[in-house]
Amino acid sequence: MSRLPRLVIPGHPHHVTQRGNRRAQTFFEDGDYLLYRDLLAE
């Protein structure tokens, strides 16, 4: 069964998680994380 569409409310924050396989570390440098965060903000 497919998932229901996400509810998007303008101006409301979303909870976002980023994990690698088996919860492995995804970002190895602070700059990588900051770039990812900035791209999400757009």
Is position 6 within any domain?
no
Is position 12 within any domain?
no
Is position 11 within any domain?
no
pLDDT digits (tens, 9 = 90+) for 1-42: 788 998 889 989 888 888 889 989 889 999 999 998 899 887
Is position 7 within any domain?
no
Entry pTM: 0.53
Is position 9 within any domain?
no
Host domain of residue 30: 18-42
Is position 2 within any domain?
no
Number of structural domains, the chain?
Answer: 1
Concatenated DSSP letters for 9-38?
A: -TT---------GGG-----SHHHHHHHHH
Token pair listed for 26: 């995804």
